[in-house]
Amino acid sequence: MSKSLVQQQFGAHASAYATSAVHAKGASLGRLVDLVRPEGHWQVLDIATGAGHTAAAFAPHVAHVIASDITEEMLDETRRLAAAKGFANLETAVADAETLPFDDARFDLVSCRIAAHHFPDVPRFVAEVGRVLKPGGTFALVDNISPDALSTPGFSEADLADAAASYNAFEKLRDKSHGRCLGLAEWCAVITAAGLTVLRREILPKAMALAPWATRMDADAATTERLRAMLEEGTPALKAFLRPRLDAGALWFTLDEAIVIARK
């Protein structure tokens, strides 16, 4: 995944992420804070902060938050949010998730929410998280996941691999900067391989209406139609994962978000 494509896509749609209900108010935000139980003396890094919603959720509970992202326009939105909320302990930094410009063992908490599916090299990102965390520090990850035996039981490995590839193609059709959503088991394996201990994993389903989801990334009518066809004509495993349904004439589906909490 090209990082300049990410900056182009998110730079053009930064304000949509500032107001997006999924990002600003999604269930994973409150759940993340509940699970992490932040402490008043903590130094926090939020990676790929987007419009800053996760950084802003932690800011009232900790000493200091660095909200980092690769896209300047997103950090403009974060600064606007921090000013509106009156946070004096939130600063922004331009940072690539795979080469973090921070010292070793600097942070008590590193968070990253709904972004890692854009990163080309997820093991390198998690290794960087491990490097900048203090011993005993917490890694809090939220990301959309692809189907595997944990999220979508009852299908063969081959059917799930096929459904995972189709799901990622569905995401990529809507957003060219989409890289790959990992399955939950794969996430736990990558985090464990980086030397962190997984303490908790959860799946939170989130209902999405197809049309606004597609237009948030400027999908045109033809693309939205192709997305609709992919949903309606998917394999049984894909449909079991995405749960397409009609509600008051609108096509809806469900994305699964995983929360993983790990300790260094």
Residues that bind ligand SAM (CB under 6 A): 3, 6, 10, 17, 23, 48-51, 53-54, 69-71, 74, 96-98, 113-115, 118-119
Q: What is the DSSP string of 217-233?
A: TT--HHHHHHHHHHHHT
Provide the minimum distance between the beta carbon of 158 and ligand SAM in the complex, in angstroms, as a whole number: 31
Angle between helices 184-193 and 122-132 in degrees, nearest 10: 50
Based on CB atoms, which residue is closest to ligand SAM, 142 or 196? 142
Q: CA 6, 17, 191, 189: dihedral to nearest 10 degrees? A: -80
Residue with tokens 């400027």: 218
Provide the minimum distance between the beta carbon of 97 and ligand SAM in the complex, in angstroms, as a whole number: 4
End-to-end CA distance of the chain: 28
Based on CB atoms, which residue is closest to ligand SAM, 33 or 185? 33
Provide the minimum distance between the beta carbon of 172 and ligand SAM in the complex, in angstroms, as a whole number: 14
Q: Please identify the residue of the shown chain whose CB is closest to the bound ligand SAM.
A: 50
- Dig out the tokens for 23 from the structure: 């990002």
Based on CB atoms, which residue is closest to ligand SAM, 97 or 251? 97
Based on CB atoms, which residue is closest to ligand SAM, 50 or 137? 50
> Strand, coil or helix: what is 37?
coil
Q: Amino acid letter at 243?
A: R
Based on CB atoms, which residue is closest to ligand SAM, 54 or 166? 54
Provide the minimum distance between the beta carbon of 115 and ligand SAM in the complex, in angstroms, as a whole number: 4
Based on CB atoms, which residue is closest to ligand SAM, 78 or 152? 78
139 vs 109: CA distance, rounded Å: 6
Provide the minimum distance between the beta carbon of 13 and ligand SAM in the complex, in angstroms, as a whole number: 9
Provide the minimum distance between the beta carbon of 183 and ligand SAM in the complex, in angstroms, as a whole number: 19
- Dig out the tokens for 15 from the structure: 């304000």
E strand intervals along 131-249: 133-144, 197-209, 245-247
8 vs 243: CA distance, rounded Å: 31
